[in-house]
Chain A
Amino acid sequence: MDYLGIIEIGIIFSLFVLGMILSFRLLGFADLTIEGSFTTGGAIFAILLSNGINPFLSILISIIGGGVAGLLTASLHCYAGINKLLSGIITLTMLYTANLRIMGRSNIYIEQTSVLNYINEPWYEFFVLLIIGVAIFILIKFFLSTNFGLYLRATGENESFVKNLKSNPKKFIIVGLIISNSLIALSGCLFAQYVGYSDIGNGNGMLVSMLTAMIIGENIVRPTTLNRQIISAIIGAISFQLLYSSALQLGLKPIDLKIMIGILLIAFLILTKYGYKGKQSKNIGANFI
């Protein structure tokens, strides 16, 4: 098995899981936009790079693209009063057209030199992903360790608590979803570079896959503190990728993978629910399941 590849993809997916932790777990916002913003990240990066734009600038713009998607979902919920799930579904549907419009077709092959293949050596790709991963994890850890981050977490668990502090919870929902979707767009952008193409279907099934990764991570590293919650993202993403590759290695057909992921998620959700035997969980964050 290609263990280096598993860790590399694990790092890329851990950014997705980290974004998901921010919205699903800490903000208590089951945001379905993420499946679309993953594709948006790759789509913006691929079209900009193929038009000769600097790779770093292309990454930055794709991150902003994800942030805009998050802003739209948050605004639909906060200002139009639309239910959280429905806000995400609306943005996700609109993103399908937006992503096709961005790319101008359903897929783009990335042939140009980008950030991950600047030097054509496996260690280089790993090294760059490691640096990006560590930098993002430190940034998010810092953000959540601030007073603002604490207010954001409070919004997820008890919105009226924040209102009673005479603060507007909408502010934290908006910023949280922007950051969450930006991280997921970055993940999508790195994924497109890693596999060498951006496809309109890149995000299909990612929500359930990454939710599985998140739940696996939370079952391995009980997220009873902020540090453990953040670490659970990387452990979950790598473990998920290891299981995924092992299933393929054991002869599972790629068309059966989605069923396998679904069964895995159901199993882990049941394990999580009944594992506590009626006791309260020590995990931090909102219970969105």
Chain B
Amino acid sequence: MLELKNIHISFNKNTDNKIDALYNVNLEFHEHQWSYIIGGNGSGKSTLLKIINKELIPDKGELKFNSYKPTDVMFIDQTTIKNLVPSMTIYENLIFALKNIGMNPNFRLFQNKNYKEIVIDKLKEFNIGLEKRINEQVKFLSGGEQQIIVASRIMLSNPRILLMDEFTSSLDQKWAPFILEKLKKFITVNNIMVIAVTHDYSQIQNIGDRLIMLKNGKVFADKKKENFDFTTQSILNLFYEYE
């Protein structure tokens, strides 16, 4: 379990423009649970992810990893290319995920048969022929193809906690459900905790287990799938309720 206890963080401290980005946030996240964080601009969604990723230190409160370690966290940025090294090939980008089989900054050669087989097998799962293009630079791939490489990175890394900031924001309606469903299957099988920020409420119904709504840095709603209808309309109603 990951716990956020009484988290406070503010920006522009000691000025007239002080902003309480998060105010008295208490949340618990569990493994095998896909939690969606929603809220308007400036509600504190991305700040929450950055605190869990240890990019920001809260002014007050405690972040407890319990059985987890900070190194168990993988963060996926909302700009696809920021999750990749643009001029490197598909193969080179993906092998960074193979830490468990020795892809650490050591002096072993990065071109090897073992890595290659794993990368090709993973890409074959998406069935769009990327396994035949592993020597292409990722900057020349389409947005959807790049996001498949990011999804493959997630699967090969197999993190225990996955933080995603608007993962599908750059994808059209063809690619977004395709990639999310693949990811959902993988996450369920591997008991991964997912905390995802989104503005696309249509994906929450099929994928999400929990919905947390933030407003002005505070938790305004925390709903589980068992006791709330995750349709776009219900989510919008929830939104209007707190306007």
Known A150-B92, A282-B137: A161·B84 in contact at CB below 8 Å: yes
Task: List the one stretch of A70-78, A163-171, A197-205 in contact with chain B.
Answer: A163-171
Query: Closest CB-CB distance, B178 to chain A, in whole Å?
Result: 24
B41 at the interface (CB under 8 A from A): no
- B140, closest chain A residue (CB): A280
Task: List the one stretch of A93-101, A107-115, A128-136, A151-159 in contact with chain B.
Answer: A151-159
Choice from B77, B85, B106, B137 contacting A146 with Cβ under 8 Å: B106
Query: Closest CB-CB distance, B114 to chain A, in whole Å?
Result: 13
Instruction: Give the CA-CA distance A284 to B140 in the complex, in Å.
Output: 12
- B96, closest chain A residue (CB): A165
Give the A interface residue count (CB, 8 A). 26
Known A145-B110, A150-B92, A154-B96: A161·B85 in contact at CB below 8 Å: yes
Interface bits B52-74 vs A (CB < 8 Å: 1, else 0) = 00000000000000000011001
Which residues from A are CB-within-8-Å of B99? Answer: 165
The answer to whether B106 and A148 have CB atoms under 8 Å apart is yes
B103 at the interface (CB under 8 A from A): yes
- B139, closest chain A residue (CB): A280
Which residues from B are CB-within-8-Å of A153? Answer: 85, 88
Instruction: Give the CA-CA distance A204 to B88 in the complex, in Å.
Output: 35
- B83, closest chain A residue (CB): A161
- A223, closest chain B residue (CB): B87
In chain B, residues 86-108, which have Cβ atoms closer than 8 Å to a Cβ of chain A? 86-88, 92, 95-96, 99, 102-108
Which residues from B are CB-within-8-Å of A148? Answer: 105-107
The answer to whether B137 and A158 have CB atoms under 8 Å apart is no
- B74, closest chain A residue (CB): A164
Among B70, B86, B87, B140, chain A packs the most CB atoms within 10 A around the CB of: B87
A24 at the interface (CB under 8 A from B): no
Q: Is the interface of B mostly helix, strand, loop or mixed?
A: loop
Give the B interface residue count (CB, 8 A). 29
The answer to whether A147 and B82 have CB atoms under 8 Å apart is no
The answer to whether A158 and B85 have CB atoms under 8 Å apart is yes
The answer to whether B82 and A171 have CB atoms under 8 Å apart is no
B109 at the interface (CB under 8 A from A): yes
A5 at the interface (CB under 8 A from B): no
- A150, closest chain B residue (CB): B110
B14 at the interface (CB under 8 A from A): no
Known A160-B82, A161-B82: A154·B88 in contact at CB below 8 Å: yes
The answer to whether B75 and A164 have CB atoms under 8 Å apart is yes
B142 at the interface (CB under 8 A from A): no
Instruction: Give the CA-CA distance A148 to B108 in the complex, in Å.
Output: 8
Known A147-B105, A166-B71, A171-B105: A158·B111 in contact at CB below 8 Å: no
In chain B, residues 20-66, which have Cβ atoms closer than 8 Å to a Cβ of chain A? none
The answer to whether B82 and A285 have CB atoms under 8 Å apart is no
Which residues from A are CB-within-8-Å of B75? Answer: 164
Instruction: Give the CA-CA distance A160 to B85 in the complex, in Å.
Output: 10
Query: Closest CB-CB distance, B28 to chain A, in whole Å?
Result: 24
Instruction: Give the CA-CA distance A285 to B87 in the complex, in Å.
Output: 6
Which residues from A are CB-within-8-Å of B71? Answer: 166
The answer to whether A146 and B107 have CB atoms under 8 Å apart is yes
The answer to whether A283 and B87 have CB atoms under 8 Å apart is yes
Instruction: Give the CA-CA distance A115 to B79 in the complex, in Å.
Output: 54
The answer to whether A147 and B85 have CB atoms under 8 Å apart is no
A38 at the interface (CB under 8 A from B): no
The answer to whether A147 and B108 have CB atoms under 8 Å apart is yes
Instruction: Give the CA-CA distance A280 to B137 in the complex, in Å.
Output: 11
Choice from A145, A167, A224, A283 contacting B111 with Cβ under 8 Å: A145
Which residues from B are CB-within-8-Å of A154? Answer: 85, 88, 96
Which residues from A are CB-within-8-Å of B105? Answer: 147-148, 151, 167, 171-172
Instruction: Give the CA-CA distance A133 to B104 in the complex, in Å.
Output: 29
Query: Closest CB-CB distance, B85 to chain A, in whole Å?
Result: 5
Query: Closest CB-CB distance, B84 to chain A, in whole Å?
Result: 7
Instruction: Give the CA-CA distance A265 to B237 in the complex, in Å.
Output: 62
Which residues from B are CB-within-8-Å of A224? Answer: 137
Which residues from A are CB-within-8-Å of B92? Answer: 150
| 24 A-B pairs (CB sep. < 8 Å) | A143-B107, A145-B109, A145-B110, A146-B107, A146-B108, A147-B109, A149-B110, A150-B92, A150-B96, A150-B110, A151-B105, A153-B85, A157-B87, A158-B82, A158-B85, A158-B86, A161-B82, A161-B85, A161-B96, A165-B99, A166-B71, A282-B137, A282-B140, A283-B87
A sample of 11 more A-B contacts (CB under 8 A), given A224-B137, A282-B137, is: A145-B110, A146-B106, A146-B110, A147-B102, A147-B104, A148-B105, A149-B110, A151-B105, A166-B70, A172-B105, A280-B140
Report which A residues bind B (CB closer than 8 A): 143, 145-151, 153-154, 157-158, 160-161, 164-167, 171-172, 224, 280, 282-285
Report which B residues bind A (CB closer than 8 A): 70-71, 74-75, 77, 82-88, 92, 95-96, 99, 102-111, 137, 139-140
